[in-house]
Amino acid sequence: MSAQEQVRIFDTTLRDGEQAPGFSLRPAEKLLLARQLDALGVDIIEAGFPIASPADAEAVRQIATEVRRPVIACLARAHRADLERAAWALEPAAQGRIHTFIATSDLHLQAKLRISREQCIEAAVDAVRFARQHTADVQFSAEDATRSDFDFLCRVVEAVIRAGATTINLPDTVGYAMPDELRDFFVRIRERVDGADRVVFSAHCHDDLGVGVANSLAAMQGGARQVECTINGIGERAGNAALEEIVMALRVRGDRNPFTVAIEPRQLYPSSELLTRLTGQSVQVNKAVVGRNAFSHEAGIHQDGVLKDRRTYEIMRAEDVGAPWNPLVLGKHSGRHAVAKRCSDLGLGVSSEELPDVYRALMTVADERKVLTEADIRQVVEAVRAAARSAAGDPVDVAAAAVSAMHESGYGHGV
């Protein structure tokens, strides 16, 4: 394996991602997101599944017309009607790819498709041959590849390569594989299949067991040179491998993953934010790379370290992914250094004499509020100063008096 080999990013947010409940998008919204994916630098945009609906077909065609740099792909089952619709949708594309698929596991063949292995091979070959009549860029996916009989899977792959497929995707459709076996799986396929050197192998990993990104990295180690992923990891069931996590794993741990991608990392957070805005579906706060807490710290020990040197508790910078850096989130675990720094940032001018009372009052409020907002901090400082003036030198617990006064004024009830 040569140093820094290029891996193509195949983004399927607009197809597999949109299939997740609650994530459907209108054509205009899909076009807007496709333009952002273009700015992000993805190599291939899977724009939709045209046979699914007239709106989806029109969205693919509109994206193919207006987004010119990346390859525009769309999905089609190994059915003539699907393929014809896909070909129509991709007609305007500067670079169009038909992505056709059929299941290859015995479970799917018998329980879902109810066809024989030979019928599966025949359908796959016919689909690829028909797609090649419309584009030189044809991707074939063996659905449920990781649970397929290995010898039969190799027969299918060899047959579609002979028929003209240029990219072979071997998806872990139900997120069943583990990283070590997926790496070996790609190594064995590439060693076994005649014509493997003429195609690009692709990985499409679902996250049902929480190892979608790990499996994608393992597939690269095994020879996959395309990875299929989505913004925020959205997709069927538990979702797909998250694009932003794959990209940053390659950047941060290039020593273990010597691969490059043509992604502009500073567009990762804006891409995540746009998807969230369009779908109304927020990412979990502790989501890697793009979650609200990804670059924030509440624990006093962590805050102290980050204030001295960000590298103590951060392995990447928020600005590298286009995210805001909010290092000091004040809560009940925060330390005095963080409180002093936050008050200073807000221009509150808290003196060293005031700091102990401000700190204790803030920690009391934090027990009630969980996370302290800018407004909370300002109110606490004001209340502490007012309590100190009222005490006028009397031996009063200023912090407790400040919190009591805040409660009496209605603080905490809709404030």
Q: Is the pLDDT of residue 327 over 80?
A: no
3 state DSSP class of 329? coil
DSSP letter, residue 284:
P
Stretch(es) of the chain classified as CATH 3.20.20.70: 5-263
Cα end-to-end distance, the chain, whole Å: 60
What's the CATH architecture for 5-263? Alpha-Beta Barrel (3.20)
Task: Report if pTM > 0.75.
Answer: yes
pLDDT tens, 253-272? 999 999 999 999 999 999 99
Q: State the pLDDT at residue 358.
A: 92
**Distances 357 to 297, 396, 407 between C-alpha atoms, Å:** 22, 11, 17
CB of 300 closer than 8 Å to CB of 254: no
Rounded CA gap, 158 and 345, in Å?
63
Q: Which residue intervals of 24-114 are DSSP H helices?
A: 27-40, 54-66, 80-90, 106-108
Q: Is the pLDDT of residue 43 over 70?
A: yes
DSSP letter, residue 312:
G
pLDDT tens, 74-106? 999 999 999 999 999 999 999 999 999 999 999
Q: What is the mean pLDDT of the chain?
A: 92
Rounded CA gap, 239 and 328, in Å?
31
Q: Is the pLDDT of residue 29 over 60?
A: yes
Q: Is the pLDDT of residue 328 over 70?
A: no
Higher-pLDDT residue of 109, 403: 109
**Distances 86 to 30, 73, 269 between C-alpha atoms, Å:** 17, 9, 31
CB of 409 closer than 8 Å to CB of 387: no
Tell me how crowded residue 401 is: count the other CB atoms within 10 A of its CB.
19
3 state DSSP class of 393? coil
Q: Is the pLDDT of residue 121 over 70?
A: yes
Residues whose CB is less than 8 angstroms from the CB of residue 160 and which lie 6 or more positions away in sequence, other chains included: 124, 125, 128, 140, 168
When pLDDT is averaged across residues 1-11 and rounded to a whole number, the result is: 84
Q: Which amino acid is at 365?
A: V
Q: Which amino acid is at 283?
A: V
Torsion of CA 3, 9, 10, 16, to 10 degrees: 120
**Torsion angles phi and psi, residue 297, rounded to 5:** -140, 135
For the chain, the 3-state helix, strand and coil shares in percent, each to the nearest 5, are: 50, 15, 35
Percent of the chain with pLDDT over 90: 74
